[in-house]
Structure 1
Amino acid sequence: MESTEQSKKDMIDLCRSLYANDKDSLNVIEEFERDYRPEKAIWWFTRDIFLYRIINKALRLQDIDQLYRMRYFITHLHAQLVERHRKQLQEGSFCGNILTVYRGIVVTEFEFAPLKNAVPGQYMSIPTFLATSDLSSKASSFAVTSGGNSGMLGILFKIEVDVKRCQTEFADITRDSSEPDECEVLFSMGSIFKIVSVNQDKQNLWNIHVKCTGEEDLDLKGLKDSLQKDIIQVNPLFSFARLTEKMGKYSEAVKYYTMTSNDPVVRSNYEDLSAVYNNMAGCFYNMGDMQSTLEHANSSINLLLTKYPDHPDLVSSYLHLGLVHYKKLEYLKALSIFKEAVRIQLKYPKTYPARLASCYNNIGLIYDEQKHYKDALGMYQECLAIRTVVQPENHPDVAGLYNNIAQVYQSQLDHQKALDYFRKAHEIKLQTLSPNHIDLALSYQNLAMSLRFNGQYPEFCKEMKNAYHIFSKNTSILALSETQKMRAFLMKAERDPRFQSEN
């Protein structure tokens, strides 16, 4: 366990560096260093000072370095909010089962675009701590006034909360606030809401009605849980590495995993060190670095084999190792590795059943490459049977499976069925991935190629452009390679009348 004083020092040093030229803020930082107590976390957060600005900006931008350095205060703030939430539910502090609160915000047109196109039933996640008011007039007044600037839009959120079922921690913080005259309800980071409606009123104010009913998207909930729990676990470096990996920032995750692997406590435990190497292998695989994937997967496997030849964690490392050989077109070797993973996993049927699904999926990939299409579809059906039980229907792994089924149909020249499954996969990824996630770019690319095979050329060009825009913002080996190829292709397509819209 790291020193509390060290985590506090990390935070204070960051705050001083960010406000080095602001004397007033430096004075408040000194006051915080001298007087702060964990039971006053909400009070400090509600002061219009450095804490609120730094933390919510870091959460909004997913700045993992700053979040890590602010972990000292975030831990206390979340813990106090959880305790207030528990106590208020026990005491029946909320009138009725439905709580309605409001929040006015101002965003750029670019930031608003995803919300503008949102449809009822879609889920949205707000990464920051969210302060709300029970007065719609106050919230809308802020949004209307601040949204009058050129290029800025005012948004009023109406939030309905099923008090007993909502999975997000929230509490009435009026008594804890630095401004007790204002009635505020504070939601913890990563709150998940279901969109009811989006419309614009006569004042050009956008009204977004959302609900929190406990029916949250499970993948967004997974990210919320990572934000909340990983920050405060025993080994914060490993936790932040996992969080960064979940966000698709693989090179940053490798940095944290490397630091973790040098921790003497981690190195003294073969299972922990093996887990770090295995996760690094996954990151390198997603970055397109097959050699590093191979090295780290083997390091993970060798650590486990020396202690326990049938250790259940071997399955995950074998999956990474097999995928490398699959990418190298060494199908028989990959198939042998995946079958060994199945053998081990079947010994632990109740432990990580999703891993068995991954084994079947990967064996299906090999059968597909060997043109054994019937066998491939059989493996994919075995995989789907497991995933529909242990994972929600819109889980990213289900999207990957639909994508693989689509590839089989495409190989069989059944392009319409292929397009149907690519669309199923793409709809899930639109719901569950961040807008610039590289997997979303790959999904746009697959959808585009299927549209081309079906003769839908303008639509093909549109989806290829969507893929290109995401690839161009990523720095992985895969993204750089795809960006160059797609730029050349799109330039060529601009001169081909088949790819032009009929409008």
Structure 2
Amino acid sequence: MSKQKSSSSSSKTNGTKDKETLKPSKSSASIQRRTTAPPIVQNVILVWLDEKMDEKGNSFWRNAIAEFRHEINTIHTFTESDPCVLFLSKHMDEKICLIISGTLGQKIIPTIYNMSQVYSILIFCDNKKEFKRWAKNWTKIFGVFTHSADLAKALEEIVDICEQDSIGINLLSMNDVDAAKRDEDQMPFSFVYPSILKEILLTISFDDQRLDEFIDYCRGAFNKNDQALHTMKEFKRTYKEKTPIEWFAQNSLLYSMINRALRLLDLQLLMKLDFFLIDLHRQIEQLSAEQYRNHDNEQSVTFYRGQGLSKADFDRLAKLKGGFMSLNNFLFANTDSKEPLNIARDAAENPDLIGVLFHISANPSKAVGPFASISKVISLQSSDDNILLSMFTIFRIGKMKQIDGNNRLWQIDLTLATNDDSEIRIPAAYANENTNPNSKGWGRLGIVLIKMSELEKARQVYKTMLEQTSDGQQRAGIYHQLGWIEDRQGHHEQSISFYKKALEVSLKSLPADHPDLAMSYNNIGLVYYTKGDYSKALSAHQKALAIRQKTLPANHPDLAMSNNNIGMVHVNMENYAKAASFCERAVQIGMQALPPNHIHLQHYREHFDLVKKKL
């Protein structure tokens, strides 16, 4: 059986290479459950364990949770230790702030203390003096508190610290570079992917509707957080009254959402924030052009950034001198090292982190990623000149040295990559070579992800695209892609459902004999064939053939495909005489339409030979 490829004129943007199938797969369809919980939109989530917790029956707990939600939107509460520990162990990619009673803390902190996802611990109790003495032995314990208001202030400080340390890091060794020069497919996906994201993101244009869609998303994400809802309502109302840099620096909620989206490359969140990411990048780009217009091409500028790195990220980084590092997030930096060094020193106190002072050298005239001084745009607490670097900036890794002889505190020299670094052109080239470089929008990313076999990420792209468009033909194309992805993952019922939705939408706007309808019928038939439901497969393929016979030249390769597909259905139904007729016709058309060594023609001949042996 042959999977249908979409033509360049088709509204369906199928960028996949399809295979031929002889025997049906017997795997059953698997159904994935979709969570209805509000999405996590910050880097920190709050877990509160207290045996006295009573949200429904006691207003103290309800009021405290509402107060804490002003700082951390996602809150999970527990009254028993075991479910809490299980929850912590399952959320390894999160940064968790844990509030715990003193008594339970003494019991479970030894168990959970070395979990890297447990970022900070706060003790909430009646006897501060007793537990404060014990807490000194555990450096992750941020403090001991007896009043919820003090806890709320501490949470605000923890969120600020965590955001500083929460960046997405992607590394590329020189061995990886050498391998990619020989074969671009050897370039690590983790390094290629962010660059492709940026390449595609910057081709998208938006209207005011995208801001409305983002606010609608926030209503669901912050449905229990009145303060956040008010903040985002004001963001919408006054968006054009401030610059993107002002919003990024002053709106802590927006800042947290952007940091999480970029750190985890959370596609759903990225696609909701895309309009702002581009606005912010463009402003940095504009400021950089203005500030460095007359800059000496050979002169570099220097600035510093302090933060904590996980031990795993630091160990990988330490091995890659001369290689490259891509940082996903928009990054603040300073022209003076004093404040960044203090941040690095504080990070080194966390047993899960290594304190790092990035010493950054950049040539504004040659740097691939833009950066700019923002001190004249916005006033920040620091008295130094503040620098803002755009997202997905790539650096070459230089020397590393300990600071003050402390093996948990390091300076790492970085140089912003330039156009002279040919190695970093590979990701952009990959995006251009594997999609139409003139195409725009998130659909282009979906095609790249499918070609890179990142089907779950591609599914996220198309699902979110579906939410963002009401155009019938665009929705039909998206349904088509989702059907293809579900089929590849063995979810046959979901695949058929999406293909039928594509067909249903197309029938409303296209004539009954349009080639796109033939494609939908063809793919529905292929999935039924894989399921072993041959009567439905035959019906779908017959409809595809009827349209193609009516609209295509007699020697078109799609006619060969449809005849072959019908022939193979008849084989499995043991209708060998009918199968021979259709398979022979597939070979005859294929010989006129395809090169002699084409893989499809070879398959058609093999299938015809198989049928002849059955007669």
TM-score, scaled to structure 1? 0.50
Q: Is 2:107 aligned against 1:107? A: no
- Superposed, 1:364-375 pairs within 5 Å as none
Match of 2:461 in 1: 256
Match of 1:155 in 2: 356
Deviation at 1:235, TM superposition (A): 6.5
Instruction: Report the AA paired with residue 146 of structure 1.
Output: A
Match of 1:222 in 2: 428
SS in 2 for 1:150: coil
Query: Which structure's CA Rg is the greater one?
Result: 2
Q: Is 2:368 aligned against 1:167? A: yes
Instruction: Report the AA paired with residue 254 of structure 1.
Output: R
Match of 1:452 in 2: none
- Unaligned 5+ segments in structure 1 are 322-332, 345-358, 367-503
Maintained 8 Å contact 2:267/2:460: no
C-alpha distance 253-174 of structure 1, shift in aligned 2 (>3 A): same
Q: Which of these residues, 285, 300, 310, is aligned with residue 98 of structure 1?
A: 300
Match of 2:396 in 1: 194
Q: Which of these residues, 72, 79, 84, is aligned with residue 282 of structure 2?
A: 79
Q: Which has the higher helix share?
A: 1
Maintained 8 Å contact 1:238/1:257: yes
- Unaligned 5+ segments in structure 2 are 1-203, 503-515, 523-543, 566-585, 604-615
SS in 2 for 1:205: strand
Match of 1:183 in 2: 385
Q: Is 2:409 aligned against 1:208? A: no
C-alpha distance 123-299 of structure 1, shift in aligned 2 (>3 A): farther
Maintained 8 Å contact 1:159/1:209: yes
Q: Which runs of 4+ in 1 moved over 6 A?
A: 223-226, 288-293, 295-298, 300-311, 340-344
Instruction: Report the AA paired with residue 188 of structure 1.
Output: S
SS in 2 for 1:209: strand
C-alpha distance 341-284 of structure 1, shift in aligned 2 (>3 A): farther
Deviation at 1:176, TM superposition (A): 1.6
Measured in 1, the distance between the counterparts of 2:342 and 2:458 equals 42
Deviates more, 1:284-293 or 1:33-42: 284-293
Maintained 8 Å contact 1:47/1:178: no
Q: Which deviations, in whole Å up to 9, do the C-alpha atoms of 1:141-188 show, x marking residues without a partner? A: 111113212222211111111221111121112212242844122111
Q: Which of these residues, 304, 307, 320, is aligned with residue 119 of structure 1?
A: 320
C-alpha distance 17-179 of structure 1, shift in aligned 2 (>3 A): farther
Instruction: Report the AA paired with residue 170 of structure 1.
Output: F
Maintained 8 Å contact 2:370/2:390: yes
Q: Which deviations, in whole Å up to 9, do the C-alpha atoms of 1:37-79 show, x marking residues without a partner? A: 1761101111261111110111110100011111232221112
C-alpha distance 8-342 of structure 1, shift in aligned 2 (>3 A): farther
Measured in 1, the distance between the counterparts of 2:398 and 2:548 equals 49
Instruction: Report the AA paired with residue 270 of structure 2.
Output: L
Match of 2:107 in 1: none
Measured in 2, the distance between the counterparts of 1:56 and 1:206 equals 24
Instruction: Report the AA paired with residue 473 of structure 2.
Output: R
SS in 2 for 1:53: helix
C-alpha distance 43-258 of structure 1, shift in aligned 2 (>3 A): closer
- Superposed, 1:381-420 pairs within 5 Å as none
C-alpha distance 82-255 of structure 1, shift in aligned 2 (>3 A): same
Match of 2:573 in 1: none
Deviation at 1:341, TM superposition (A): 8.6
- Superposed, 1:349-368 pairs within 5 Å as none
Q: Which deviations, in whole Å up to 9, do the C-alpha atoms of 1:64-115 show, x marking residues without a partner? A: 00111112322211121121122223243x8962121111111332343422
Maintained 8 Å contact 2:335/2:384: no
Measured in 2, the distance between the counterparts of 1:127 and 1:212 equals 14
Deviation at 1:195, TM superposition (A): 1.0
C-alpha distance 157-21 of structure 1, shift in aligned 2 (>3 A): farther
Q: Is 2:49 aligned against 1:49? A: no
- Superposed, 1:415-426 pairs within 5 Å as none
Deviation at 1:284, TM superposition (A): 6.8
C-alpha distance 88-115 of structure 1, shift in aligned 2 (>3 A): same
C-alpha distance 153-179 of structure 1, shift in aligned 2 (>3 A): same
Q: Which of these residues, 137, 152, 174, is aligned with residue 338 of structure 2?
A: 137
Measured in 2, the distance between the counterparts of 1:43 and 1:299 equals 49
C-alpha distance 199-72 of structure 1, shift in aligned 2 (>3 A): same
Measured in 2, the distance between the counterparts of 1:89 and 1:307 equals 58
Match of 2:7 in 1: none
Match of 2:525 in 1: none
Deviation at 1:126, TM superposition (A): 0.6
Maintained 8 Å contact 1:193/1:210: yes
Maintained 8 Å contact 1:161/1:212: yes
Percent of aligned pairs with the same amino acid: 22
Instruction: Report the AA paired with residue 171 of structure 1.
Output: A
Q: Which of these residues, 245, 252, 267, is aligned with residue 473 of structure 2?
A: 267
Maintained 8 Å contact 2:297/2:366: no
Deviation at 1:33, TM superposition (A): 2.2
Measured in 1, the distance between the counterparts of 2:427 and 2:275 equals 23
C-alpha distance 261-7 of structure 1, shift in aligned 2 (>3 A): closer
SS in 1 for 2:316: helix
Deviation at 1:17, TM superposition (A): 4.5
C-alpha distance 196-304 of structure 1, shift in aligned 2 (>3 A): farther
RMSD of aligned C-alpha atoms? Answer: 5.3
SS in 1 for 2:376: coil
- Superposed, 1:10-25 pairs within 5 Å as 10-20=213-223, 24-25=227-228
C-alpha distance 131-3 of structure 1, shift in aligned 2 (>3 A): closer
Q: Is 2:484 aligned against 1:241? A: no
Instruction: Report the AA paired with residue 98 of structure 1.
Output: S
C-alpha distance 264-134 of structure 1, shift in aligned 2 (>3 A): same
